Structure 1
Amino acid sequence: MRGSFGIGGVAVLVTLSLAGGCANRPAEGPVWPGPSVPASAPPTESAGDAPPNYADNNNWKQRHELTAAEQAEGDRLAARIEPVLAELRAAGDFTPESTRRALLGLGLDPERFGVTAMRQPSWLDEVPVGAVFEVRFGDAGCVTGDIRPERLLVHVSGAAAEFGCLEPYTH
Structure 2
Amino acid sequence: MSTSTPVRPLRLVAVTLAVVAAVGACGDLHAPDSRTGAAPSPPGASSPSGTSSPSTPGASPYVEPGAGDGAPHYGENNAYRREGDMAPAHAKDAEREAARIRPVIERLWKQRKWDPAVVRTALLRLGYEEERVTQDGRRLGGTLTVTQMSPRWKDDGYVTPEGTRLALRVRDHACVSGFVQKSNVEVRVNGPYPETGCLEPPYGH
Residue 127 of structure 1 deviates from its aligned partner by 3.6
C-alpha separation between the residues in 2 aligned to 1:117 and 1:59?
23
Counterparts of 1:69 and 1:79, CA distance in 2: 16
Shifted more, 69-78 versus 154-163: the winner is 154-163
CA RMSD of aligned residues (A): 3.6
Deviation, 1:135, is: 1.0
TM-score of the pair, normalised by structure 1: 0.67
Residue-pair matches, total: 147
Conserved in 1, the CA contact under 8 Å of 2:84 and 2:191?
A: yes
Q: What's the CA shift string for 1:20-39, capped at 9, x where partnerless? A: 4534x4367438xxxxxxxx
Q: Which structure is higher in helix share?
A: 1
- Aligned-partner Cα distance in 2 for 1:48–1:154: 26
Q: 1:97 aligns with which of 111, 117, 123?
A: 117
Please, what TM-score do these two structures have when normalized by structure 2?
A: 0.58
Uncovered stretches (5+) of structure 1, i.e. residues with no partner: 1-8, 13-18, 32-43
Larger C-alpha radius of gyration, 1 or 2? 2
Q: How does 1:103-118 map to 2 (within 5 A)?
A: 103-111=123-131, 112-118=143-149
Q: Does 1:30 align with 2:51?
A: yes
In 2, distance between residues paired with 1:132 and 1:62? 18
Q: Name the aligned partner's letter for residue 201 of structure 2.
A: E
Q: CA deviation at 1:130?
A: 1.2
Q: For structure 2, which runs of at least 5 residues remain unmatched after alignment?
A: 1-22, 27-40, 53-61, 132-142
Q: 2:88 aligned with 1:65, yes or no?
A: no
Partner of 1:22, secondary structure, is coil
Instruction: Name the counterpart of 2:186.
Output: 153
**With CA pairs under 8 Å and 6+ residues apart, which has the higher RCO, 1 or 2?**
1
Query: Which residue in the other structure is 2:106 paired with?
Result: 86
Structure 1 vs Structure 2: percent identity of aligned residues?
30
